[in-house]
């Protein structure tokens, strides 16, 4: 049976397998670094189990998993509605293929160089703003580029500098209330709107900046630095938790979290 299966393998079957593999690979890189990737991998695992059970002719378990998969596709559309909407909007714009190719690189085309972020400038600007009680919310991306969040603000795409960060968060500027997003050692956008955490048991009754910083840390792998306008204290949100840090603690946390994975 196995030999016959290999003999009957057609060219279109190989193309079908390659297209499905490319689709799954592309979806993984679109969702990586978000909580949605865990749901996506769970659905893929259930689908693969269903195929194996069906191949082994386990009818009862196959019917149960088959019903789950058929309903799961409807749930998939509901769960990934923002991502699907983002993809369809991008698909209808010019230059989509070029941007998509830049964001999703195949392993053999991927650069092995890690972009080093100017952490010292970020830390110095945060300490300076904290001393003046200037509120700030800075988000540093990791695997997930936070494309959707960056679209809610004003695109900047500038090199990181202490003066630019402080000018953006100066109290009289129009962008000081939103979040700044830093990715690939560049300030991508400012004045961005972030999701707010729904946790109610947070200590010290945090303000909107802290809740937004924690919210983006819950929904992605990004790091969020929050400078309190009321107290002048610095906090950092990571992996769904928020910590209060000093200058040395902030630098240590950033270096530890953003170090290259080897």
Q: Which of 140, 129, 117 is nearest to 225 (CA)?
A: 140
| pTM of the complete model | 0.67
Structure-token match 């392993």, residue found: 107
Concatenated DSSP letters of 110-163? S--PPPPP-HHHHHHHHHHHHHTT--EEEEE-SSS--HHHHTTSEEEEEE--HH
List, in order, residues 6 or more apart from 47 with CB less than 8 Å away. 69
Beta-sheet pairing, 223-227 with 186-192: unpaired
Say what the pLDDT of residue 2 is: 47
> What CATH number should be reported for the domain whose range is 119-258?
3.40.1700.10
Interatomic CA distance for residues 65 and 48, integer angstroms: 10
Instruction: List the beta strands (DSSP E) in the chain.
Output: 136-140, 154-159, 179-183, 186-192, 223-227, 234-238, 241-245
Interatomic CA distance for residues 124 and 195, integer angstroms: 26
Give me the residues paired with residue 181 across strands.
139, 189
Q: Which helix (H) or strand (E) holds 167?
A: helix 162-168
Are 139 and 194 spatial neighbours (Cβ–Cβ below 8 Å)? yes
Exposure b/e, 217-255, CB count within 10 A at least 16 = b: bbbbbbbbbbbbbeeeebbbbbeeebebbeeeebbebbe
Angle 132-182-155 from CA coordinates, rounded to 5°: 95
Interatomic CA distance for residues 185 and 23, integer angstroms: 29
Give me the residues paired with residue 32 across strands.
none
**pLDDT tens for the chain, residues 1 to 262:** 444 545 567 787 788 888 888 777 766 666 665 666 667 777 778 888 888 888 888 888 888 888 777 776 677 677 666 666 666 655 555 555 555 555 544 443 343 345 678 899 999 999 999 999 999 999 999 877 788 788 899 999 999 999 999 999 998 888 988 999 999 899 999 999 998 988 877 766 778 899 999 999 988 889 999 999 989 999 999 988 898 999 999 999 999 888 754 3
Interatomic CA distance for residues 106 and 174, integer angstroms: 39
Q: Residue ranges of the domains in the chain?
A: 2-109, 119-258
Phi/psi at 156 (5° precision): -115, -50
């Amino acid at each position: 049976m196995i030999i016959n299966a290999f003999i009957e393998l057609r060219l279109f079957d190989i193309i079908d397998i390659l297209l499905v593999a490319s689709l799954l690979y592309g979806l993984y890189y679109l969702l990586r670094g978000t909580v949605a990737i865990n749901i996506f991998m769970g659905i893929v695992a259930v689908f693969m189990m269903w195929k194996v059970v069906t191949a082994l002719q386990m009818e009862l378990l196959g019917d149960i998993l088959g019903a789950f998969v058929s309903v799961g596709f409807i749930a998939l559309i509901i769960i990934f509605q923002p991502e699907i909407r983002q993809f369809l909007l991008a698909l209808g714009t010019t230059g989509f293929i070029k941007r998509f190719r830049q964001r999703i690189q195949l392993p053999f085309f991927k650069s092995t160089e890690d972009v080093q972020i100017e952490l010292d400038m970020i830390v110095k600007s945060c300490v300076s703003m904290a001393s003046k009680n200037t509120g700030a919310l800075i988000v540093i991306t990791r695997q997930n580029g936070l494309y959707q969040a960056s679209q809610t603000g004003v695109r900047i795409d500038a090199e990181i500098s202490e003066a630019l960060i402080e000018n953006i968060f100066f109290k009289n500027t129009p962008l000081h209330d939103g979040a700044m997003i830093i990715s690939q050692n560049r300030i991508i956008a400012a004045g961005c709107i972030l999701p707010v955490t729904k946790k109610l048991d947070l200590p010290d009754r945090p303000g909107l900046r802290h809740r937004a910083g924690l919210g983006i840390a819950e929904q992605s792998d990004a790091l969020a630095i929050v400078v309190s306008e009321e107290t002048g204290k610095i906090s950092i949100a990571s992996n769904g938790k928020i910590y209060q840090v000093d200058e040395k603690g902030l630098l240590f946390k950033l270096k530890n979290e953003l170090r290259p994975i080897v």
